[in-house]
Amino acid sequence: MPSRWAEVIPAGYQDGKAEAFAARIDSIVLQSGDVVKVTESGVTAFVGGNNVGKSTILAEMHEWLGQINPQSGERRRVLERLEVIKGGEVKDLFAWLREHGYFHDSAFSYNPGFASSRGQGVRGPGEIISMFRQADTGESFGGLREYFAYHSQALNRLYEIGETERRGNIFEVPAGPIHRIEDNPDLMHDFDSISMAVFGQALTLDYLDRQVKIRVGRPGMPAPPVNAIPLEYRHAMAKLPLLTEQGDGMRSMLGLMLPIVTESYPVIFVDEPEAFLHPPQAFELGRLLAKISHARQLQVILATHDRNLVAGLLHDTKIPVSIVRLDREGSITRAFQLESESVGELTKDSILRYSNALEGLFHKLVVIAEGNDDCRFYQATLEFIASDPSYASYPPSEVLFVPSSGKHAMAKIAVALRTAGVRVVVTPDLDVFDDEPTIKKLVESIGGSWDALKTRYMTATHAFRQQRTPATCADIFGAVEAVLRPRGNEPYTAERRREVQVQMRLGESPWKALKEYGMRAFKGESRKAAEELITELDTLGLRVVRDGDLEAFAPATGVSKGPSWLAAAFAADAHQSSEAVAHVRRLVSNIDIVEK
């Protein structure tokens, strides 16, 4: 059909460039003074506990964008201000609106102009020019917000996919997303593909009645010509269940995706996108939101409680995703941001990507231990301690134990979580003192100064760093005889072999005495320096195992280590021992939140 662009748009405004126009958020300033940079085309995800301001900040940002003078309004609870980037002239805005399908210019239209995406009528060019000029000098979109920003809330999404009255004729302005997919089969194909990917359910648009509606499934026969629809096809269509009759999870997710698929908002706010979804579906939704935001150059700003959704957001390491953890200090909401570059580097690391480390964003305290057995043992001990009514530290549900697969990855995990404002405790075995570069990196990862601790460290470990006297043949003979002669014809077991090595004073590094004897391995002046050093490390949140290593908490199980150790330790109630309890109490004792 012929376009009336030149007829409708005033002279001098007809030759704009859509690519020259920009409307997006650059940064968010909280009342605490914290500044959050918004990912330019990708996802900025707000995470954190309940009542820290995640939903509030989304609502306040959306409200801000719709006001002409947002700074003159009522005081907000979390948001101080937005810094918005707007580029281009009015003619570029016209070109952008035309390219993204908002220009309603049918030759038979009674009211040509720019249709609102939510069915709020049509704005004429003069009104668009006026709204542009009103918002041009401020940090908002003003009346143009209806074209540029969409706020998706959990309860409202359930009704987005509801039936819509048919228009009187094809020239009427679309009154919502369902009219848009009626006009554009490609959009319906995209929407159907999402449902198939997440729920394994096909979708069909039913436009045979007075209301346009979406049904689940296929009619089982090819669609007939619109001017020759047999009764058999009508019956087949009517038998398909309505999307509005499906479970809350399917309705909520597709209610979220329908406006995103059918409209062209450059800024999308999504509160609790995972609402009503099972974990695999939340993961898939996160993956889709990240993919669509990047492919269509959108800013998706969301608030979530769900680790599965975050995992989906981070699935493709090439897509920019920023994580912002909110925490409340009294009445003030603080923001700690992992910008997209940092998140990308972290998710490329296999230890972080395939561990539960980033789940720490949803907990009040993270304890980083060397291995899975350490984490499970400490978790059991914490639950035992918390069963005492007098327990007054972090609830077990708010403490996440993260295995690092050894000492060397501990610092990387600690840095990532502390940057996001998570309280972190690191608990390596005592033989971490064997490796100065590693303990130095750990100290610095939790905000300490190695220079301030090095003198005590050198004094404490002096004896372990001395050159050992080479053993003589007589030493070896005497060690073997002392251990084995009294045992006569007993089997030569691994335990006997270990006794021989200890007796010979070779085959093992002097540092291994730290695991064998814990703090008792330090003598004299070294012991005093070690105690002072460990006390200072405790204050920082680096809480080494004073007893040596995990196995020291269950010395009488008959299993020295390995896959059967944990079961034996639990069977012996070793996790309830006074030594284990003392160590875990140290792990969960209060630690102040880090400053950025």
- The CB-based long-range contact list for 393-400 (8 Å cut-off, 24+ gap) reads 393/585, 393/588, 393/589, 393/590, 394/364, 394/365, 394/588, 398/363, 398/364, 398/365, 399/363, 399/364, 399/365, 399/366, 399/367, 399/588, 400/356, 400/359, 400/360, 400/362, 400/363, 400/365, 400/366, 400/367
Q: How far is the C-alpha of 93 from the C-alpha of 214, rounded, in Å?
A: 33
Lowest-pLDDT choice from 500-509, 555-564, 577-586? 500-509
Which architecture, in CATH terms, is 5-327?
Answer: 3-Layer(aba) Sandwich (3.40)
Q: How far is the C-alpha of 419 from the C-alpha of 339, rounded, in Å?
A: 10
* pLDDT in the model for residue 69: 86
400-411 confidence digits (pLDDT tens) = 999 998 899 999
- Asked if pLDDT for residue 594 goes beyond 50, the answer is no
Q: How far is the C-alpha of 559 from the C-alpha of 565, rounded, in Å?
A: 6
* β-strand pairing of 332-338 with 365-369: unpaired
Q: Name the band, by pLDDT with cuts 50, 70 and 90, for residue 471.
A: low
Mean pLDDT of the chain: 88
- Asked if pLDDT for residue 506 goes beyond 50, the answer is no
Is 436:407 a contact under the CB 8 Å cutoff?
Answer: no
Closest CA to 406 of 445, 372, 378: 372
The more confidently predicted of residues 531 and 490 is 531
What is each CA distance from 263 to 100, 146, 550, in whole angstroms? 8, 11, 56
Q: Name the band, by pLDDT with cuts 50, 70 and 90, for residue 213.
A: very high
pTM: 0.83
Q: What is the largest CA-CA distance in the chain?
A: 109
Q: Name the band, by pLDDT with cuts 50, 70 and 90, for residue 595.
A: very low
Closest CA to 310 of 398, 420, 219, 214: 420
* pLDDT in the model for residue 107: 52
Q: Hey, which bits of 317-422 come out as E strands? A: 321-329, 332-338, 365-369, 399-403
Question: For 158-162, what is the mean pLDDT?
Answer: 88
- Asked if pLDDT for residue 457 goes beyond 60, the answer is yes
255-277 confidence digits (pLDDT tens) = 999 999 988 899 999 999 999 99
Question: For 144-171, what is the mean pLDDT?
Answer: 88
* pLDDT in the model for residue 480: 77
Question: For 213-232, what is the mean pLDDT?
Answer: 92
Q: Name the band, by pLDDT with cuts 50, 70 and 90, for residue 285.
A: very high
Is 349:381 a contact under the CB 8 Å cutoff?
Answer: no
Q: Percentage of residues in the chain with pLDDT exceeding 70? A: 93
Please report, for the chain, the start and end positions of each structural domain, with discontinuous segments joined by +.
Answer: 5-327, 352-466+510-588, 473-504
* pLDDT in the model for residue 592: 61
Token pair recorded at residue 582: 């003392």
Write the DSSP assignment of 22-46 as a string of letters.
EEEEEEEEETTS-EEEPPSSEEEEE
Question: For 168-179, what is the mean pLDDT?
Answer: 81
Amino acid at 99: E
